[in-house]
Structure 1
Amino acid sequence: MNLPIRNRESGKNWLITKIFTLLSVYYAHMLEYRAEIFFWILSGSLPIILMGVWIEAASQSDFGLNSVEFARYFFAVFQVRQFTNIWVIWDFEREVIEGKLSFKLLHPLDPAWHHVARHITEKMTRFPFAILLTVLFFTLYPQAFWIPQLSTFLLTLITIIFAFTLYFLIQYTFAMLAFWIERASAIQQFWMLAYIFLSGMTAPLDVFPDTIRDIIIWTPFPYLLYFPSALLVGIPVNVVRSLLIMLGWSIVVFVLNRWLWRKGLKQYSGMGA
């Protein structure tokens, strides 16, 4: 009678061991690229540059946010982006083109989990740099210092996880097109144009015209950056509606991803891989 229980417990232990092994291997790999990751962080400094622009603009006109609020917002955008940036499309595209995906298909694990582990461990490697940059920012701009409430901070962490998941699913779905076209990453370049302007990276949605904002909120873009950042700095947002929209987009993209994966594998095997 106890055999099924022992089997379930051993299955759970096996799964935990597998997850820990996968993360530890990729974390060790990412530690070898600490210097490169630091330069990746600096390359994403566009929000910090735009922060100076909006601080100057806020001192001359009324945009609904003052200079300090703009500084906090763009710093939050910079930090949120550190933990939600995704590059899976380039890795997957290379695996398909070079035939490396064939070896991963032999493993008793969906290749997607290798990419998930790489991204998670890369975020873990970024964490010390994020703390260092936080200390540096508030040292240079002390008037922007604030401490969010614990409940707000924890809710922001949840939304960052949701944003990471949604963005990963979107880009991984784009990556599925590598089964049919040689440069699926070109699609990501078009996506980035909309992402930069509609995600809240260049400006908070609060400064957008009402009609434009009412349309944007139903797209996935604002929930990848604006929503977690606004929540962290205290800009009013509809939390329940935002989480439901994120969940809805995640389900839609996940279903599309699995459909493309099955179709793509047939195409991949048909090419002799």
Structure 2
Amino acid sequence: MRRILRQASTLLVVYYAYMLEYRAELVLWVLTGSLPMILMGVWMEAAQGGLFGLTPVEFARYFLVVFIIRQLTVVWVIWEFEKDVVEGRLSPRLLQPIDPVWHHVASHMAERLARMPFAIALVGFFFILYPQAFWIPHWQGVVLSTFAVILGFALRFLIQYTFALFAFWTERASALEQFWFLLYLFLSGMLAPLEIFPALVREVVLWTPFPYLIYFPCALLLGFPVQVGQGFLAIVGWTTLFFVWNRWLWRQGLKQYSGMGA
């Protein structure tokens, strides 16, 4: 255990230092994740008529939380892994005594730490512009939402990493993520809360992994009515499914990997 902790801390320190070298780029990445803030203005205006079941203030809080969760769960491993395979950079990592995936996990964790100051500054600016939207969430909602965000990130990472393994067979595995992202965009709650979906559509969507990546942790923090136990069971179920698929693809992909130096 001590050796594992030492390896983990070393990876985090190295990748955190790497991320700090690109602080300007991090600011741009934070700003590119501000789509929820733009949508917030649209839905706040639309909610003036009272047709969507949420008040303008509730919409403002919802999209603020969406922005925060997006900052915590954004994943890009498929593009990095695709380069590793196509350019042969995976070869030296296969010689190391740890699974190459932990390099990507450490990179994502370090990037979270590096981008947080910029995200917090934007949240503070939001409350200056919309002081009426300020609220103190219930402690139970904070705990459950935090747990859901951690599991949601793990699921999001595992899904994209599973698609990334198709780089062993094709040079454009990222095309799978681009198609998946369209579904993620519309069904995860990023564009609109699930409350405005027709009841039948909402019931179908809840059987997919998408709402548990954004909407579910948002609803827990804001106190929206959700099935807490069912939600966490769904996350665990989808995570297990993709983990099994991921490990099978990894073993099959290594059998035919022919990168430089492999």
2:237 aligned residue (248, 263, 267): 248
2:206 equivalent in structure 1:
217
Change beyond 3 A, Cα 1:30–1:271: closer
> Which range moved further: 101-110 or 28-37?
28-37
1:51 equivalent in structure 2:
40
Aligned alpha-carbon RMSD (Å): 1.2
Tell me the distance in 2 between the aligned counterparts of 1:43 and 1:189: 16
Tell me the distance in 1 between the aligned counterparts of 2:3 and 2:33: 38
Tell me the distance in 1 between the aligned counterparts of 2:234 and 2:166: 25
Give, in angstroms, the shift of residue 191 of structure 1. 0.6
Share of identical aligned residues, percent? Answer: 60
Write the deviation string for residues 166-211 of structure 1: whole angstroms up to 9, x where unpaired.
0000000000000001100011110111111000011100100011
Write the deviation string for residues 61-105 of structure 1: whole angstroms up to 9, x where unpaired.
321111000000011001100000100000000000000000100
Q: State whether structure 2 residue 197 is matched by structure 1 residue 203.
A: no
Letter in 1 for 2:79: W
Letter in 1 for 2:23: R
Tell me the distance in 2 between the aligned counterparts of 1:213 and 1:123: 31
Question: What's the TM-score once normalised by structure 2's chain length?
Answer: 0.97
Q: State whether structure 2 residue 137 is matched by structure 1 residue 151.
A: no
Q: How many residues align?
A: 262
Q: Max radius of gyration: which structure?
A: 1
Change beyond 3 A, Cα 1:270–1:34: closer
1:141 aligned residue (127, 130, 149): 130
2:93 equivalent in structure 1:
104
1:108-147 mapped onto 2 (5 Å cutoff): 108-147=97-136
- Local SS of the residue matching 2:73: coil
1:77 equivalent in structure 2:
66
Give, in angstroms, the shift of residue 131 of structure 1. 1.6
Q: State whether structure 2 residue 179 is matched by structure 1 residue 190.
A: yes
2:223 equivalent in structure 1:
234
> Which range moved further: 65-74 or 151-160?
151-160
Which segments of 5 or more consecutive residues in structure 1 lack a partner in the other structure? 1-11
Tell me the distance in 2 between the aligned counterparts of 1:105 and 1:20: 20
Which segments of 5 or more consecutive residues in structure 2 lack a partner in the other structure? none
Q: Comparing both chains, which one has the higher relative contact order based on Cα–Cα distances under 8 Å and sequence gaps of 6 or more?
A: 2
1:93 equivalent in structure 2:
82
Letter in 1 for 2:255: K
Give, in angstroms, the shift of residue 152 of structure 1. 1.5
Tell me the distance in 1 between the aligned counterparts of 2:73 and 2:259: 35
